[in-house]
């Protein structure tokens, strides 16, 4: 965290100094923005790269020169638009300048980062709006879902640095496409880590799950021992995440015309133990006790679609 705090301090010094100088343009801020975002991504272990000065093929005609992009190998997962500190982020999110540049970026990847140097925000499609088949997303269908301050008093910077970390981590884990197998593995691992951390310390109400593991796999766990609890938590989360991805892969292959949801996973997993485990997860009291629902809901199959298609899996 100290590395992020130092980067946040450096960003404030550099960009505030630039803002007082004559002849400064948006491009003058790019190196500072790139360095700050790169440091945050490294801290969160998100395997994405921030690039400036790129030239992207524009569908239909010409090329786009976004202010910056967040990329996963050759796949752009988010576009970034930078304006001067005097510009309001809400105004920027609804901008139609440069042939509706933000609307076109949003239609293309579903996530646009907007930054006015003073703060940064996330623009997504409004809830219920699908960008599929759209050339651009109009302002009425966009939403500035979250913002994080970048300029701040020195005493507030640790808190605002945490806000930036949380915003980028949540957005890039939940809202961006994935293009590389290694990235998919890393994202699932990060989500699994968060799910495991959310499990309760007291696991004594899970006797039925312990019996399932013992009967199906011959595994036993001593929940009165710290190592035993950790072993059970790791095993439970690994089973849930691997099982969920396996079920999605089978659904992707079969294309039975139904939407994929984890609570119907027994349609695809024919292994009684796994089907039974997810049946246990669907129990409302079990979901509340384990706090698993929000983590399983995050693993939306659309995130892996880009990877599966590019890898040409059968």
Distance CA 130, CA 87 (A): 28
Residues 57, 122 within the same domain: yes
Last residue of a domain, one of 119, 152, 174: 174
Q: How far apart are CA 115 and CA 148, in angstroms?
A: 10
Residue ranges making up the domain that contains 272: 181-311
Calpha distance 238→35 (Å, rounded): 34
pLDDT of 57 over the 90 cut: no
Which is more confident, 64 or 36? 36
Confidence tier at 280 by pLDDT (50, 70, 90): confident
Q: Are residues 214 and 263 in the same domain?
A: yes
- Do 99 and 67 share a domain, yes or no? yes
Q: How many domains does the chain have?
A: 2
> Do 40 and 73 belong to one domain?
yes
User: Does residue 257 have a pLDDT over 80?
Assistant: no
Same domain for 31 and 163, yes or no, is yes
What pLDDT was estimated at residue 47?
78
Q: Do 49 and 145 belong together in one domain?
A: yes
Mean per-residue pLDDT, 149-159:
91
Domain end, chosen from 174, 204, 238, is at 174
Q: Which of 30-39, 138-147, 181-190, 247-256 is predicted with the least confidence, judged by mean pLDDT?
A: 181-190
Q: Which of 70, 69, 67, 75 is nearest to 92 (CA)?
A: 67
More confident residue, 183 or 23: 23
CB 231 within 8 A of CB 222: no
Mean pLDDT of 275-292: 73
CB contact burial 247-258 (16+ within 10 A = b; e otherwise): bbbbbbeeeeee
Both tokens of 161, joined, read 């640095």
pLDDT of residue 177: 63
The pLDDT of residue 218 is above 70 = yes
Bridge partner residues of 72 (DSSP): 75
User: pLDDT tens digits, residue range 114-130?
Assistant: 999 999 999 999 888 88
Are 207 and 293 part of one and the same domain? yes
| Inter-residue contact 299 to 241 (CB < 8 Å) | yes
pLDDT category, 203, cuts 50, 70, 90? confident
Q: How confident is the model at residue 97 (pLDDT cuts 50, 70, 90)?
A: very high
Residue 303: pLDDT above 70? Answer: no
Q: Are residues 252 and 157 in the same domain?
A: no
pLDDT at 306 over 50: no
> What is the rounded distance in angstroms from the CA atom of residue 34 to the CA atom of residue 46?
15
What CATH code is carried by the domain that includes residue 16? 3.90.1570
Looking at the fold, whether 159 and 227 belong to one and the same domain comes out as no
Residue 309 has pLDDT above 60, yes or no: no
- On the question of pLDDT at 311 being above 50, the answer is no
Q: Give CA–CA dist 104/114, Å, rounded.
A: 14
Q: Which residues pair with 87 in a beta bridge?
A: none
In this structure, the answer to whether residues 13 and 55 fall within a common structural domain is yes
What pLDDT was estimated at residue 29? 97
Same domain, 188 and 145: no
Residue after which a domain boundary falls, among 114, 140, 174: 174
Question: Same domain, yes or no, for 300 and 239?
Answer: yes
């Amino acid at each position: 965290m100290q590395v992020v705090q130092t980067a946040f301090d450096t960003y404030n010094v550099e960009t505030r100094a630039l803002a007082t100088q004559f002849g400064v343009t948006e491009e003058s801020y790019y190196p500072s923005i790139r360095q700050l975002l790169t440091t945050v991504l490294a801290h969160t272990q998100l395997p994405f790269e921030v690039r400036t000065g790129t030239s992207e093929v524009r569908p239909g005609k010409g090329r786009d020169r976004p202010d910056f992009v967040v990329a996963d190998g050759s796949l752009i997962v988010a576009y970034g638009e930078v304006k001067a500190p005097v510009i309001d982020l809400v105004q920027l999110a609804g901008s139609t300048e440069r042939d509706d540049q933000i609307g076109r970026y949003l239609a293309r990847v579903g996530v646009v980062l907007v930054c006015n140097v003073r703060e940064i925000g996330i623009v997504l499609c409004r809830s219920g709006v699908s960008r599929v088949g759209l050339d651009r997303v109009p302002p009425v269908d966009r939403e500035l879902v979250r913002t994080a301050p970048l300029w701040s008093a020195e005493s507030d910077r640790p808190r605002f640095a945490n806000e930036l970390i949380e915003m980028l981590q949540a957005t890039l884990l939940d809202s961006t496409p994935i293009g590389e197998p290694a990235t998919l593995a890393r994202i699932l691992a990060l989500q699994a880590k968060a799910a495991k951390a959310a499990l309760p310390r007291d696991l004594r109400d899970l006797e039925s799950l312990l019996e399932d593991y013992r009967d199906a796999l011959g595994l036993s766990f001593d929940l009165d021992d710290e190592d035993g609890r950790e072993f059970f938590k790791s095993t439970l989360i690994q089973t849930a995440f691997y099982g969920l991805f396996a079920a999605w892969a089978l659904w992707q292959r079969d294309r039975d015309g139904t939407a994929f949801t984890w609570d119907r996973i027994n349609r695809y997993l024919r292994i009684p133990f796994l089907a039974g485990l997810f049946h246990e997860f669907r129990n409302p009291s079990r979901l509340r006790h384990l706090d698993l629902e929000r983590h399983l809901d995050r693993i939306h199959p659309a995130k892996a679609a880009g990877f599966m298609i590019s890898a040409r899996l059968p």
